[in-house]
Chain A
Amino acid sequence: MFINSLNKERIEVEHKAEKQAVRRSVRDMEIGERGVISSLNDPEMGLKLLEMGCIPGAEIKMNSRAPLGDPITIIVNDYTLSLRLDEAETILLKP
């Protein structure tokens, strides 16, 4: 599924506007909220996120925000990962 999303990147860009209305990303999560990763929509950054364990299907939890709102920390695979909001935005959640 993730691979498909990589190949269909261009198509996805076109549909971004309408998709964003339905698809939430980690950026939109509330503190303490849990979710399941559906796909990663930035191919290059996606590789880094995959290596860190953000695999589609993995459960993540929004852990905390920095005092200025950005970056954030999430819990994935039982460890804490910190990332910036524009990085978190590329992690899409299952509805």
Chain B
Amino acid sequence: MTVATQPEIKPAGRKIAKPAEVKIALIGNPNSGKTSLFNQLTGLNQKVGNFPGVTVDKKSGFIQLTPSIRAEIIDLPGSYSLYPKSLDERVITDLLHDPASKQSPDLIVVTADASNLKRNLLLFTQLADLQLPAVLALNMVDVAEQEGVKIDMEALQRELGVPVIPMNARKGAGVAALKIVMTQQLTAPQKAFYTLPSDLQPLLQSIKSRFGLSNDYLALQYAHLYKSLKFLKEEDVAWMGEQLESAGFKSNTRQAEETIARYTRINELLLDVVRVEKADKDEKFSNRLDQILTHKVYGYLIFFGLLFLIFQAIFAWASYPMDLIDLGIANLNALIQSNFEGPLINLLTEGVIAGLGGVLIFIPQIAILFAFIAILEETGYMARVTFMMDKVMRKFGLNGKSVVPLISGVACAVPAVMSARTIENWKDRMITIFVTPLMSCSARIPVYTVLIALVVPEVYYFGFLNLQGLVLMALYLIGFVAAVLSAWLLKVILKARERSYFIMEFPTYKMPRWKNVGLTIVEKVKAFVFEAGKIIVAISIILWVLASYGPGDSFERAEQQALVEAQNEGLTEEETEVRIASHQLEMSYAGRFGQAIEPVIKPLGYDWKIGIALLTSFAAREVFVGTMSTIYSIGEEENVTTIKEKLATVKDDNGEPFFSPARSFSLMIFYLFAMQCVSTLAIVRRETKSWTWPAAQLVYMSGLAYVMAFITYQLLR
């Protein structure tokens, strides 16, 4: 290796004026230890950005290789070859093939799994034929040796013509050596692994001259991929189409030929490099474990047990830190309000800080859910989940992996939508994200409990079946059925932009790498707080303003009126305050909104008071209870029984109880279906990188809510 002999003076002397920044791209098969290596190299110095024009996150990080060389490491999506099969994988060719791109890397680090060298080298030979400066980071050499595969590093390096660094990305071994190689000025590899067919030469030459390319294989890649390369202009695509047509270029056949030729070449070169001295090891540990974990009965029992555990965790365990955050925000606001006064202070406390609290409150759930998901992914169990659930979920246009977001959605749609990231297929992922908010989340519980307590009698059947409990369960079930049917509907409507494959590596079981688990949690929390958080805070402030201000002097008049009423009815000071708040909410912009939409919601059985609650529920559904308390002058007591008793006394125009079963069920059904959650909309926008999806969700779910609530009210009336 040239590594040790190269003097360090060269780079240091070269860049005195300005520290050099090199771009290094990490590329490799899925499960080849790429993410571990990325985490080892960059640690917490990671940031998530965008690749231009696609929904794929661009993960990059910085390291200081030497005092004078700083490197940006870009983590590219895992891929098996340079012919992209999914939208995510297109990022790789867009990045590497655009000669004008400022993003194109100075060095490529190819990660490969030593225990599966043959398949991992396919991608490497393609990259090498592009003559890009490259290093091969050979991972899991220890695993390969345990399986009886011995790799001669010297010989491999000679055969490949690039530096080979044996490493163990999990333990961090070999990272130092890799960093040293990264500081070297590596020349492009000169070895070609695939001899291009001579009959293609005229075509390749004309492609090369048109686009100013110097590499034959790159020209061939253009010929195969011209329709999907983002940077090609329309006329270039048209020109390419004509050229290929007249040359009689058959992309599928040529690609097949190339792949077979590459495998043949790889088999040849590995003959001298790899020595296999193992007996037939079919009864591997992973296989034995699979006999239990994917068993007909135990497999599902264990999986649903795990789901139950996850659900418990985000439902019950997360409530302790969430209560602490709630309390902290309330105390902070109380502290500020007791020391300062004025409308700006109100804006700060009840608008901004309360909005921030609404963002922070999600962190425990996101952290806990992603701790579980990262462990499931790391251990390889997630692949088994997909394997076991695929047949059922596929019928509804979902993916085996959709089970996790759907179940998590029962606790909260926000982390659930984020967890749909594990679904590789674009269409499956979009459908999952779209239907997840239909699952009844924990924020709907306060609404359900108050309304059920109001209209469903507390009777028991067979001594233990509580009718109220049964109704609650029915509501959850309706949400689930709605999600599944909507998924099925979308499956029919949505055009797939890519063919859906299930063909994937079935990884062996491994111990989770805790560093990766930790970094996943940090990454997800950061993504939520900084990207979705902005929108949530902004809309919370707007909603607060709408409920706290009214046009002109309406607030003063509301207060006056309340004071007059208080005098006439002989209310106490506390009751007077409550009455003022009630009248002011009525006169606020939110109150006006409620009155304005009354004609629209009347067919559902609602009046303008409920209209206000529908609007304020946008901040979070549980706000419904608070708004109802204010508007019906119930006061600050957050006791379900008190609220229930007060609401039960509300009469309609005919003197009948206003919250009749028809109205209450109509409301429950409305809250079940409606998209009334800014946080979910914000996270869907973040995950899909477009406003189209959250807008479609808002329209679809709210439309569905309207229709279903209408039917419910008209049937029960």
Contacts and interface: CB of A to CB of B under 8 A. Distances in A.
| Binding partners A and B | yes
Interface of A: 2-3, 6-7, 43-53, 55-56, 61, 63-64, 66-71, 73, 75, 77-84, 87
Contacts, number: 113
Interface of B: 80-81, 83, 85, 115-116, 118-119, 122, 252-253, 255-257, 259-260, 263, 282, 286-287, 290, 294-296, 299-300, 383, 387-388, 390-392, 499, 501-506, 508
A68 to B, nearest CB: 4
A6 B296 contact: no
Contact of A70 (B83, B116, B300, B390): B390
Nearest to B80: A51
Given A53-B119, A82-B383, A47 B502 contact: no
A87 B263 contact: no
Contacts of A63: 287
Contacts of B508: 80
A66 to B, nearest CB: 5
A46 B299 CA distance: 31
Given A51-B83, A66-B387, A71-B391, A80 B506 contact: yes
Contact of A55 (B253, B260, B300, B392): B260
Contacts of A43: 252-253, 256
B499 A44 contact: yes
A61 B322 CA distance: 51
Contact of A2 (B81, B256, B505): B256
A3 B253 contact: yes
Contact of B253 (A6, A48, A82, A87): A6
Given A43-B252, A71-B390, A80-B508, A64 B503 contact: no
Q: Which 9 A-B pairs have the closest CB atoms?
A: A80-B506, A50-B259, A84-B502, A67-B296, A68-B391, A82-B506, A43-B252, A51-B81, A83-B503
Q: Helix, strand, loop or mixed for chain B's interface?
A: helix
Contacts of B296: 67
A46 B300 CA distance: 32
Contacts of A47: 83, 252, 255-256, 259
Nearest to B291: A64
A90 to B, nearest CB: 10
Most buried by A among B255, B256, B263, B392: B256
Nearest to B502: A84
Contacts of A73: 387, 506
B256 A6 contact: yes
A56 B282 CA distance: 22
Contacts of A81: 503-506
Given A48-B503, A78-B115, 14 more contacts: A45-B503, A46-B252, A50-B259, A51-B83, A51-B119, A52-B505, A66-B294, A67-B299, A73-B387, A73-B506, A79-B116, A82-B503, A83-B503, A84-B502
A46 B116 CA distance: 21
B505 A80 contact: yes
B263 A53 contact: yes
A16 B234 CA distance: 40
A37 to B, nearest CB: 11
Contact of B118 (A6, A48, A53, A83): A53
Contact of B119 (A44, A52, A61, A71): A52
A40 B78 CA distance: 25
B503 A6 contact: no
A75 B282 CA distance: 9
A19 to B, nearest CB: 20
B110 to A, nearest CB: 15
B85 A48 contact: yes
A69 B394 CA distance: 14
Contacts of A83: 501-504
Contacts of B501: 45, 48, 83, 87
Contacts of A80: 286, 505-506, 508
A24 B506 CA distance: 24
B505 A71 contact: no
Nearest to A43: B252
Most buried by B among A6, A50, A56, A64: A50
A51 B504 CA distance: 11
22 contacts: A2-B256, A3-B253, A3-B257, A6-B252, A43-B256, A47-B255, A50-B256, A52-B119, A63-B287, A64-B294, A66-B294, A67-B294, A69-B391, A71-B502, A73-B506, A78-B116, A79-B505, A82-B502, A82-B504, A83-B503, A84-B502, A87-B502
A51 B299 CA distance: 30
A79 B119 contact: yes
B503 to A, nearest CB: 5
Contacts of A53: 118-119, 263
A39 to B, nearest CB: 10
A69 B391 CA distance: 8
Contacts of A69: 391
B699 to A, nearest CB: 34
Contacts of B287: 63-64
